[in-house]
Structure 1
Amino acid sequence: MKSVVIEQPNQLTVADRPLPQPAAGEVRVKVKLAGICGSDSHIYRGHNPFAKYPRVIGHEFYGHIDAVGEGVSPSRLGERVSVDPVISCGHCYPCSIGKPNVCTELVVLGVHRDGGFSEYAAVPARNAWKIPETIADEHAVMVEPFTIAANVTGQAQPTENDIALIYGAGPMGLTTLQALKGVYKVKQVIVADRIDERLAMARNSGADWVINNSQRPLQETLAEKGIKPTLIVDAACHPSILQEAIALASPAARIVIMGFSSEPSQIIQQGITGKELSIFSSRLNANKFPVVIDWLARGLIDPGKLVTHKFDYQHVTDAIELFEKDQRQCCKVLLTFN
């Protein structure tokens, strides 16, 4: 079989690999579609501290089960499945309180273990979630990105009366926007970004107000309308954003940080305690696949609005380079297999 392998930073090959045989408790997935994420690019470029090489990247993938390991019912053969890349131990403290996404022995497909940019992938059976026939293939492959939004909103618990502000109209900001509008029915969602084309995507995904904050401080723009957000989601993840969010926030607001920046953020503690703000962080997803599959089945979100490009997996280098360089026209890029 063919697999997309990062041999070492900046060295990608489409290599012949042995067909994997599912171990006990595993299934083999014949991959049909996979999505490119920023973390795939980071591994390719050597910027992910958790990755070890060589590595088959890809943690957003969908296909059907074509083989099962010992202990897995043969009735699962042929199932259409989307794969949760989070593999956890199930017994450490984070796992015991429902946070397998920060398991002390966390393994992420495509990062710590070979992932889904491959014609076939062996994965734990419990991580392969059945997709109803009513959900299209191109929506099924987008389950994982939307689980990030489900994780964010699950922590922040939005209400219809929130005034929400999202920093960043990239894939993570847009999935969160769709969750806030489509699932939680938040009446006012504002999206700030520095790229007009991305803001147009946000408007298309339901944003009530989009702001290009490249020319004028966001604080001035919001102050003109007397707006103090009650929920702020940082999906842009620049170190300067946290302090600005603290300053912008309404008293008793919630702030969610989605990023992995290693640069320090300088914050004024009084701004947090003076308003009694709640600050959350969110990594990956904690058992959110069934949540998002339900959202899709009920038509509450529309992943198709995020998909801008598709490539055959043989052209993965071109696909990743487009994803990295064209932030104006490119949002979600899918790879096709088989």
Structure 2
Amino acid sequence: MRAVVFEEFGGELGVREVPDPAPARDGAVIRVEAAGLCRSDWHGWRGHDPSIALPHVPGHELAGVVEAVGADVVRVRPGERVTVPFVCACGRCPACARGAQQVCEDQQQPGFTHWGCFAGYVALRHADVNLVPLPEGVTTTAAASLGCRFATAYRAVVERGAVRPGEWTAVHGCGGVGLSAVMIAAAAGARVIAVDIAPGALELARRFGAEVCLDASAATGAAADAEVAEAVREASGGGAHLSLDALGAPGTCARSVAGLRAHGRHVQVGLLPGGAPLPMDRVIALELEILGSHGMAAHAYPALMSLVASGTLRPDLLVTRELPLTGAPAALAALDGPGTPGVTVITPHRG
């Protein structure tokens, strides 16, 4: 099969022939019809994830068709259309036993712990635990964003953030996960403030339901971060009830916390490999909640899938660019900068 491969962190990305994968006894091989390009893939390429062994095939958001299954798989059959969470759970550890597969103690992640989906095929373990059937009407292109960004945003807003109608919800960073959060919060009846530095991203945020769009392009350093937080507090009449850092940077994290009102909730969604300093004096004084959110378990997908199938949520509208596999290397490397607004989807078997 053809796959995107890199031999060193931050090094050349290229498409080349590699051996086809085979399913483990409890696993499956998926023919990748669509794969989302995400900033997490950029973190992996840049060497920010110690689980990656070289050479490596990136890619962790996918949808496709089951090509083959192992001898121990009973729930999944070849020919089924499926997607999968980016956290592939073991199904046996204490976290899985209590239904928290998204923090599985023995998790695997395509594109990180093993070769990923920027390829014709990808092998996944524990197929009966992790594969999610796609309802009729949900395309593989739309589903390619569900495994990481859209599902992550859904759980961050609805479950971890406990959004309520009428609440001011600030979303800092309007890339794929941020725009997903905007759409989901607006659909839940929240009043959404979108914050980004790119006019195109803010325009999409407005299209997907943001009531207020704040341009943070001039915000650099602590003083500018304070200005952005003050703008959020002013727009929301005292501060956001719920705020998300959907980018993953020390500045956006601090702004998110500083823009909250008393008893507000900050949810960290974007990856922060180096951590971030927080205004803990404000956290204490206003009794703020600081929450993390890490994907969503496969068993929680039906509620999300029903909203997608009914058209209440439209992840397909987030897809602004589709590229063949040969376009993936340049698109991944381009994430050194702001990137293209919306979601880029790679289609390995087209072109």
- TM-score by length of structure 1 reads 0.90
Measured in 2, the distance between the counterparts of 1:67 and 1:259 equals 34
Name the structure 2 match of 1:98: 99
SS in 2 for 1:251: strand
Q: How does 1:1-338 map to 2 (within 5 A)?
A: 1-9=1-9, 10-73=11-74, 76-124=77-125, 125-126=127-128, 127-144=130-147, 145-153=149-157, 154-182=159-187, 184-186=188-190, 188-215=191-218, 217-225=227-235, 226-287=237-298, 288-325=300-337, 327=339, 329-338=340-349
Letter of the structure 2 residue corresponding to residue 172 of structure 1:
V
Measured in 2, the distance between the counterparts of 1:103 and 1:51 equals 18
Measured in 1, the distance between the counterparts of 2:36 and 2:279 equals 38
- Maintained 8 Å contact 1:2/1:14: yes
SS in 2 for 1:319: helix
Deviation at 1:5, TM superposition (A): 1.9
Letter of the structure 1 residue corresponding to residue 207 of structure 2:
N
- Maintained 8 Å contact 2:239/2:260: yes
Cα separation, partners in 2 of 1:270 and 1:65, compared to 1, 3 Å: same
Cα separation, partners in 2 of 1:73 and 1:212, compared to 1, 3 Å: same
SS in 2 for 1:46: coil
Q: Percent identity of the aligned residues?
A: 28
Structure 2 gap segments, 5+ residues each: 219-223
- Maintained 8 Å contact 1:151/1:286: no
Letter of the structure 2 residue corresponding to residue 281 of structure 1:
G
- Maintained 8 Å contact 1:68/1:74: no
- Maintained 8 Å contact 1:165/1:232: yes
- Maintained 8 Å contact 1:39/1:48: no
Deviation at 1:258, TM superposition (A): 1.5
- Maintained 8 Å contact 1:2/1:15: yes
Structure 1 gap segments, 5+ residues each: none
Measured in 2, the distance between the counterparts of 1:325 and 1:213 equals 16
SS in 2 for 1:192: strand
Cα separation, partners in 2 of 1:223 and 1:160, compared to 1, 3 Å: closer
Measured in 2, the distance between the counterparts of 1:311 and 1:214 equals 28
Deviation at 1:223, TM superposition (A): 4.9
Letter of the structure 2 residue corresponding to residue 284 of structure 1:
G
Q: 220-229 vs 164-173, which deviates more?
A: 220-229
Deviation at 1:166, TM superposition (A): 0.9
Letter of the structure 2 residue corresponding to residue 202 of structure 1:
A
Q: List per-residue Cα deviations over 1:23-55 (Å, max 9, x = no partner).
A: 222222111111111121222233333322112
SS in 2 for 1:4: strand
Cα separation, partners in 2 of 1:158 and 1:318, compared to 1, 3 Å: same
SS in 1 for 2:332: helix
Cα separation, partners in 2 of 1:149 and 1:23, compared to 1, 3 Å: same
Cα separation, partners in 2 of 1:18 and 1:207, compared to 1, 3 Å: same
Deviation at 1:198, TM superposition (A): 1.2
- TM-score by length of structure 2 reads 0.87
Deviation at 1:280, TM superposition (A): 0.3
Cα separation, partners in 2 of 1:91 and 1:28, compared to 1, 3 Å: closer
Cα separation, partners in 2 of 1:157 and 1:220, compared to 1, 3 Å: closer
Measured in 2, the distance between the counterparts of 1:241 and 1:164 equals 15
Cα separation, partners in 2 of 1:224 and 1:33, compared to 1, 3 Å: closer
Q: 87-96 vs 205-214, which deviates more?
A: 87-96
Q: 318-327 vs 37-46, which deviates more?
A: 318-327
Measured in 2, the distance between the counterparts of 1:16 and 1:293 equals 35
Deviation at 1:20, TM superposition (A): 2.1
Cα separation, partners in 2 of 1:17 and 1:241, compared to 1, 3 Å: closer
Cα separation, partners in 2 of 1:79 and 1:91, compared to 1, 3 Å: closer
Measured in 2, the distance between the counterparts of 1:221 and 1:62 equals 39
Measured in 1, the distance between the counterparts of 2:313 and 2:71 equals 36
Measured in 2, the distance between the counterparts of 1:146 and 1:224 equals 29
- Maintained 8 Å contact 2:29/2:68: yes
- Maintained 8 Å contact 2:6/2:14: yes
